[in-house]
Structure 1
C-alpha cells in the first residue's frame, strides 16, 4: 500500500474552495470534450483508414448520438522532418490523402477533428515538435481543418535556450492560438495541456488551456485509477466552465479491469467533469463496455449546461478527511447539478461493503427535507431518503451514482430533532441531549 500523507488543512481548504473562475474563456470547450483518442488502443499504428473506420464505429455503436463528437489523432502522424518551407507534414504512407481530406470527411460525418503536438523540440515519439514554430504550426492545424490540439511536454529545450518555465512554454502556444483566432476570425483551437506536474498545472492551467492533465499516462488497472482519483481529490475546485482537470484517456474495456472497476472508472471521470476521450479498440469492445460508455444519465452530469463544477469529497471514509492515499482515495463525493445533488460512493476495498452517510454531510443537502433517490446505473427511482442513506453490498472497487432531488419537508415527528447532534438546540438554549 502506498504511503499515507495527511494534507495540511489550510491547503485543503484553499483547494476545495477555489472557484475556477480564471478558466480560459475563449469561446470553445465550455463543457468537457467527449470523443475518441487513438493512443491507448493503437499508439503509433494509425492511418487514415483507421481514423475513418473508428468514426464510423462511433456512429454505428450509437456513441456519436449520446455526445461523443471528437475524433482525435495522437502522436506519430507526422513525417520525421519538416518540409523545406519549415512546415509539418502528415506521413505520406499512412495519410496519403492528406489531412484536409480527412478532416473534411470527419466534419461531414458530424465530428470535430483533433491533432497532437509537443511544446518541445520533438514529440514524445520523436517526431517534430512545435517549439519556436508555435504560430506556424497552429496556422497549419487550422488550415488542415483541425479543431482541437493536445499539446505534450517532451524534449524540453535547455534552460539557456528556453529561458522560461513550463508556464511560459505552454503560454507560447496559447498566445499563438489566440493570435491566429484574432487574425483569421475563426474559432480558436481547443487547447488541451498534456503536462502532468499536477502541483503546478492547476495553478496556471486555468489561464492557459481548456484542460490540463493531473498525472502521468493512465494504465488499465485499478491501482492506476485509484492513484489518479486520489490526486484529483485535492484540486476539484479548479474545474468549471472552459477549464478542467483532465484525468487522461478512458481505459474502459481495455482488458485488465473488472466490469465494476470499469463502471467506477467511467463514473469518476464523468462526474469530476474530466474530458471523456475513449481509448478503447471499439471493434473489439463488448456490449457491456459500450453500455458503460453510453450511460446517458452519467453523461448528462458531465455535460451539465447549468453547473460546471466537479463533484468533491465530503467524507474520505477509510482514512481521515484530507488524507492523501493513492491506494484508498476518498469514498464519499457529492456536487450540485441542474437537476439535483449528485453523489458518488466509491468502494475502494477489495471486498463488498455497505456505504452509509448522513445526507447533510453533503454541503448541497438541506436539513429537514426528504429527497427522492435516482440510481444513475440501474436507471431506477429508489424511493425517498430521509436524513441518511445506505448503499448495500457495493462490489469491490465498485461504485454507486445517485441523483437526489428535493421532495419536500421530512415527515413530522422524527427524532432526534437534529440529524447532527453537535451544537443543536432550541431557541431557549436547550440542547438535543437535554443539557
Structure 2
C-alpha cells in the first residue's frame, strides 16, 4: 500500500468535508504568529518578550499556547549536508534553546516552510527536502508546520499541481510519525485560496488558508468574511478548519501610519474569526497591548465556542442582510449568522455599514431553533443574561459592530401568541386552509 493511499484511509468525515484525524489538531489552534508584527526583523530575545507578555496578560491560560515562528529564521543557504541552518544572529543560543525557552513558559512551538524551492522571504524551501527538513524541525523542538506556496518548481519538474506538492509533505509527516512512533507534526496548509483548498486540504492537514494576507483595516476583514460567507459553514469540522489568517486586534505596526481597527471593529474581527472556527493566532504586539485588546482576545464566552469539544462545525449565514442572499460583495458580506454549540444556539449579527443600524431577525431563520418555543438570551460580550425572547430579536449595532448571543430553550411560547406561525408561508389550519398574517 502506498503512503498516500494509507494516508487517505485515515480520513474521517465531518459536516461534508474530508478531515484528517491523525491525532493532532482536533480543535482550532490558539497562539501567536511572528509574521505580521515583525516579518524578518526579530531576534529570539524579542520573540520571547512577546511570549512572556502573552503569559503575563493571562492569555496563555486562556488557551493561546501555540507560538508560531514564521519566515526568515534561517540562513539563505543550506549547509554541506543539505540541512537548514538557523540564523546565528537571530538565534545566538541556537534554535533548541529557543524552543526549550518557549516550552518552559508553556508554549508549543510551530515553524514555517514552503512547498517550493524557497520560502516567500527567499530562504530555503522544502521542495525535494521534505523528510530532511521534518527531521530538522523535530530535532529543533517544533510540533506545528505552516507550509506556504512560493517559488514553485517548473511543471516538468514536479509533474504535479498544488495538491501534489502538498501531498509530498503530508506523506513525509505520516512516514516520520510511523517510523518514529511519535505524534505527527501538525500541518497548516497556506495555499492562499487560489485552488479552493477548502475542498482538498483536509486530506493532508488540519487547517488551510482561504485567501491572501490579512491587513488591519476594516475593508480587508470585510473581504475575507465575504469569501468565507459562501463555504465556511459547510467545510469546517473537527480536524478540518478554514484559516482566515491572523488576528489583528491591537497594535499591528502595519502600514503608514500603522493601520489599527476601532474597538468595535476589533470585536467584530475576533468574534467572526472565533465563531467561524478559524485558528486564532495573534498578529499584533502583545508587549504593548491595551486592556481593551486583552479583554477582546480573552473573551471566555467566545473562546469556548471556538474550542467546543463536542461541536466542530462553524456558524454559517442564514441571511445576507444588506444584499440579497448569496451576493458577492467584499464591502458587505453576510450579516446574519447562526450555528449550534454545546452551550446553546449561536447567533452572530454584523453591521457592515459605516453608521449605526437597527437590525432584527426571526429566531426560526436559524435551523437550530425550535418553532413555538421561548429562548433565554445570553450576551457573549456583555456576559449577561438578557431575559427571554420568542419569534424575533431586534438590536442596535454601532458602525462595523457585532452582536454575539447564545440562546437556550426556556419552554413553550405563550398560548395566545400571534401570529400562529413565525413564518406564515404555507402555514395552515387542520382543514388545509392556509393561514396568512
Q: TM-score, normalised by structure 2?
A: 0.94
Distance 2:294 2:111 in 1: 24
Distance of aligned partners of 1:20 and 1:55 in 2 relative to their CA distance in 1, 3 Å threshold: farther
Say if 2:414 is the partner of 1:404. Answer: no
Distance 2:185 2:68 in 1: 13
Distance 2:334 2:352 in 1: 8
Q: SS at 2:106's partner residue? A: coil
Aligned partner of 1:354 among 355, 358, 376: 358
1:69-88 equivalences under 5 Å are 69-88=65-84
Q: Is the 8 A contact 1:416 1:432 kept in 2?
A: no
Hey, what does 2:344 align to over in structure 1? 340
Hey, what does 2:321 align to over in structure 1? 317
Distance 1:72 1:185 in 2: 24
Say if 2:332 is the partner of 1:328. Answer: yes
Q: SS at 1:23's partner residue? A: strand
Q: Is the 8 A contact 2:355 2:399 kept in 1?
A: yes
Hey, what does 2:433 align to over in structure 1? 430
Q: Is the 8 A contact 1:198 1:213 kept in 2?
A: no
Distance 2:338 2:192 in 1: 25
Q: Is the 8 A contact 2:360 2:393 kept in 1?
A: yes
Distance 1:415 1:53 in 2: 60
Distance 2:193 2:420 in 1: 48
Q: SS at 1:416's partner residue? A: coil
Hey, what does 1:7 align to over in structure 2? none
Aligned partner of 2:153 among 150, 157, 168: 157
Hey, what does 2:416 align to over in structure 1? 413
Distance 2:166 2:16 in 1: 19
Distance 1:181 1:21 in 2: 24
Say if 2:362 is the partner of 1:365. Answer: no
Deviation readout 1:357-403 (Å, 9 max, x if unpaired): 000001110000010000001111111011110112x0001100000
Report deviation, 1:138.
1.0
Which segment is superposed worse, 265-274 or 104-113?
104-113
Q: TM-score, normalised by structure 1?
A: 0.94
Hey, what does 2:111 align to over in structure 1? 115
Q: Is the 8 A contact 1:35 1:278 kept in 2?
A: yes
Say if 2:243 is the partner of 1:246. Answer: yes
Say if 2:54 is the partner of 1:58. Answer: yes
Deviation readout 1:264-323 (Å, 9 max, x if unpaired): 000000000000000011112211111100111000100000100000000000111111
Distance 1:270 1:198 in 2: 23
Report deviation, 1:190.
1.0
Hey, what does 1:169 align to over in structure 2? 165
1:254-265 equivalences under 5 Å are 254=252, 255-265=259-269
Q: Is the 8 A contact 1:51 1:71 kept in 2?
A: no
Distance 1:413 1:187 in 2: 59
Deviation readout 1:7-29 (Å, 9 max, x if unpaired): xxxxxxxxxx9824411111101
Q: SS at 2:418's partner residue? A: coil
Distance 2:394 2:152 in 1: 50
Report deviation, 1:344.
0.4
Q: Any gaps of 5 or more consecutive residues in structure 1?
A: 1-16
Q: Is the 8 A contact 1:206 1:238 kept in 2?
A: no
Hey, what does 2:63 align to over in structure 1? 67
Hey, what does 1:374 align to over in structure 2? 378
Which segment is superposed worse, 107-116 or 166-175?
107-116
Say if 2:275 is the partner of 1:271. Answer: yes
Q: Is the 8 A contact 2:114 2:125 kept in 1?
A: yes
Q: Which 4+ stretches in 1 moved above 3 angstroms?
A: none
Q: Is the 8 A contact 2:189 2:208 kept in 1?
A: yes
1:158-237 equivalences under 5 Å are 158-236=154-232, 237=234
Report deviation, 1:200.
2.1
Distance 1:327 1:387 in 2: 30
Q: SS at 1:384's partner residue? A: strand
Q: SS at 2:388's partner residue? A: strand
Q: Is the 8 A contact 2:37 2:284 kept in 1?
A: yes
Distance of aligned partners of 1:198 and 1:231 in 2 relative to their CA distance in 1, 3 Å threshold: farther
Q: SS at 1:92's partner residue? A: coil
Q: SS at 1:284's partner residue? A: coil
Q: Is the 8 A contact 2:22 2:184 kept in 1?
A: yes
